[in-house]
Structure 1
Amino acid sequence: MGITARGAGLLAAAALLLGAGLRFAYPELTLLGAAAALAVGYALATAAWRPRLAVSRHADPDRVTRGEAATMTLTVRNAGRLRSANLLAEDRCGTTTVPVPLLRLRPGRDTEVRYDVPTSRRGVVPVGPLRVTRRDPLGLVCLARPYGGTVPVWVHPRVHPLTATPTGAGRSLDGRVDGVPHGSITFDSLREYVVGDELRRVHWRTSARVGELMVRENVDTSLPRLVVLLDNRAAAHPDRVDGVAESFESACEAAASVVTAAHRADLPVTLLLVAPEASGLPDTDPPTGSPDTTAPADAPTALPGGGGPLDRLAAVELATGDGAAALRTATSRLRQDRLGDTLVVLTGPGGRADLGLVGALRGAYPSVVVGVLGAREPSAAPATGPVVLDAADGAAFAAEWDGIRRW
């Protein structure tokens, strides 16, 4: 509860008038002081009344690509039974506020407001809560309370169509990609039997030892496996335009394009970040039925339409700190785990000096492609090293990607 400057002045005047009237026996001053004190008390009681409001909001859609339209529908209902609500309210939408008219909102009635959510920048736009302000008629006390929760709107990076896809280190006897769901070439692991599994895949020796049916899981070594490493170090993207690293935004677009192209081609893909993740995720629970956005950054990709790595790419932010140590840790992990056979590294102009660390991964990954986003001049790369693509933005990266002749 906040007392305005007018209310503070009137309260001080009330104290002075009452003190002077009682001290010098002036009933007129005492009467004026008492009236001023009663006015402040009335203002406090008026502003302290808390209206019963039910607030709900719905984003349509709640996941959009950068630049697409998104509309927020806010519904405010007066859940009280006796008094009408005549309030001043505004809804928070990202860094801006939207006025919400609540004039003479009768009991049991509701009002609906629609407005556009800004989607010009990639990120997670938190919408809400509704802020309702109560004032007394004299303007002595002002009280603001939040109503309702916060709903995030996910603004994904732009996805540029890619026509080329890596072929991988192995080759299928029937073509470039084998479509066998569980694979049929190399043993990978054992798991518990579930209804529908073929009995010929049961590993009877292990089943007899553990006391329950265990099934062999195989992998298809001819199926290409992509690993996308996004360089989210602040040192790799030193240039800023109005506080925004455009090269990093382009790198996010390139990562989204590669991940989406791999999904459409039914290729396994893994998304990794160089530095420990610093995300802009809001402190709210995801809507019912939405994908789990708290999964690790290297979790298998789940697309499209809402969730998975596109949500993560919408929320990821640049990470400060020891960028060189973070890159050494990331490359060491990639070398030890060998998560795939095609590695795609997306960095900025500041990452050119670290191409040697990336090139050393050729022993673990037969095919390594490095995308330098925001590049103004070609990057030097040895003839036997990784394929280096210099691109000014995400669209230029897509054109360079489709022109790759060797993986």
Structure 2
Amino acid sequence: MSALTARCVGLLVAAVVLLGAGFRFAYPELTLLGAAAGIAVGYAVLTAAWRPRLEVSRSADPDRVARGEPAAMTLTVRNAGRLRAASLVAEDRCGDRAVPVPLLRLRPGRDTTVRYDVPTSRRGVVAVGPLRVTRRDPLGLVALARSYGAPVPVWVYPRVHPLNAVPTGAGRSLDGRVDRVPHGSITFDSLREYVVGDELRRVHWRTSARVGELMVRENVDTSLPRLVVLLDNRSGAHPGRVDGVAESFESACEAAASVLVAAYREGLPVVLLLVAAEPAGPPARDGTVATGDEMAGGAGARGPLDRLAAVVLADDGDLRPATARLRRERLGDTLVFLTGPGGRDDLGAVGALRAAYPSVVVGVFGAAEPAPSGAAGLVVIDAADGAAFAAEWDGVRRW
């Protein structure tokens, strides 16, 4: 993007006026001054239009952190040109702030490295980049800005508080404990291709003969408890905002992340749902069931924690579509509803789901007054923040 400075505009006007007056009234001095002004503008345009060959690479260390944890970005800029050294004014975009990057006398084939901290005080996806390089002429007449390098996201997760207790669910293992191994029971789930090490007694011979390759029965343990986490992301449920941040919503996100990590640690199936529809953007992922790889947050994965990092408050204020889906699909046996002070009026609608979910736990954050004990037959946890929720969660004696 190019920009003509006020000095350049004034010089162009002066050049036109001087050239016109010089030719009109036959004053060679005025013509000479006008031509000099025009030449200066042309030189400025040619100088600023020179495009340096820069190669930009960046890496985040780490690229996924919890809120408040340190994260750093390493930016490397290399002059890929062969003839000219680059002396440029550059700045890197890091969220909503600009980080100056010195590029003085960067010789051909050389590179420079800049390392700076990424702000992680707020949950979200911090977009870092692209590098913005501004090229100016020596006279300060023209400024031309170009972007280099693709932006890199840094995912700032909610804080995770350790939960020692997990719901046991409506169904239990025959030996009196929750089976941590989800596969290998007598309940048929699906068919998959044979891999070395599978027991031959699990081969489904009829299907194998039909498809031409060995197919193995995949069985699951139906006694495992299934957790459903319903995060209330409606703006009406979290009315108090400071600088655009609702602390009650941030606490609810911390509680949701804590439950997800605890379920993954115990090897339990878990589903993360939002009350309001998600806006289009980077957090989208097909499906809502958290698998082990997703919860591990490996490179390139967009699991529930990535989703929690990117979720924002929405204006949709109706809880009925979410409760209707929960009642219709029966996604689990333990429902965890996390809301703010504005969601206390909806506890009755959530309590009506007890026919489909034997255990319903409600977390209310930032409310001035505690919810009535045992309201609508629910286990209600009133908490000021995520840490208080974790302490109250471990103290629950019934699910």
Q: TM-score, normalised by structure 1?
A: 0.92
Name which of structure 1's ranges 142-151 and 182-191 shifts more when overlaid on structure 2: 182-191
Whether 1:311 aligns to 2:278 is: no
Q: 3-state DSSP class of the match of 1:320?
A: coil
Match of 1:71 in 2: 72
Per-residue CA deviation, residues 320-339 of structure 1 (Å, 9 max, x unaligned), is 23x21xx2111111112111
State how far apart, in whole Å, the 2-side matches of 1:355 and 1:189 are. 37
Q: Which runs of 5+ in 1 are unaligned?
A: 282-292
- Give 1:389's aligned residue: 381
Which segment is superposed worse, 95-104 or 233-242? Answer: 233-242
Q: Using the TM superposition, give the Cα deviation of residue 221 of structure 1 relative to its aligned residue in structure 2, in angstroms.
A: 2.4
Match of 1:296 among 286, 289, 299: 286
Find out whether 1:276 has 2:281 as its counterpart: no
Change (3 A) 1:334 1:263: same
Contact 1:376–1:392 (Cα < 8 Å) also in 2:
no
AA aligned opposite 1:246: E
What is the aligned-residue identity percentage? Answer: 79
Secondary structure of the residue aligned to 2:21 is helix
Q: Secondary structure at the match of 1:317?
A: coil
Question: Residue 33 and residue 406 in structure 1: after superposition, are their counterparts in 2 closer, same or farther (change >3 A)?
Answer: same
The structure 1 residue matched to 2:352, chosen from 343, 353, 360, is 360
Q: CA offsets, 1:76-124, max 9 Å, x none?
A: 1111100010111110000000111111111111111111000000011
> Where does residue 345 of structure 1 map in the other structure?
337
Matches within 5 A, 1:7-406: 7-205=8-206, 213-278=214-279, 281=282, 294-296=284-286, 298-301=288-291, 302-306=294-298, 307=301, 308-321=303-316, 323-324=317-318, 327-380=319-372, 382=374, 385-406=377-398
Aligned amino acid, residue 320 of structure 2: R
Q: Which residue type is aligned with residue 19 of structure 1?
A: G
| Residue deviations 1:327-374 (CA, integer Å, cap 9, x gap) | 211111111211111111111111111111111111111111011112
CA contact (8 A) 2:374 2:380 kept: no
**8 Å contact from structure 1 (residues 123, 280) kept in 2:** no
Structure 1 residue 219 displacement after superposition: 2.5
Q: In structure 1, what is the Cα distance between the partners aligned to 2:99 and 2:88?
A: 14
Equivalent pair of 1:280/1:317 in contact (CA under 8 Å): no
Distance across 1 between alignment mates of 2:181 and 2:265: 16
1:272·1:297 contact (CA, 8 Å) conserved in 2? no
How many equivalent pairs are there? 393
- Match of 2:10, SS state, is helix
SS of 1:7's partner is: helix
Distance 1:209 1:75, change over 3 A: closer
Q: 2:169–2:359: 8 Å Cα contact kept in structure 1? A: yes
How far the C-alpha of 1:220 sits from its partner, in A, is 1.5
Structure 2 contact 182–224 (Cα < 8 Å) conserved: no
Q: Which runs of 5+ in 2 are unaligned?
A: none
Q: C-alpha separation between the residues in 1 aligned to 2:354 and 2:211? A: 41
Amino acid at match of 2:288: D
CA RMSD of aligned residues (A): 1.8
In 1, the alpha carbon distance for the partners of 2:196 and 2:277 equals: 40
The 3 A distance-change label for structure 1 pair 180 and 88 is closer
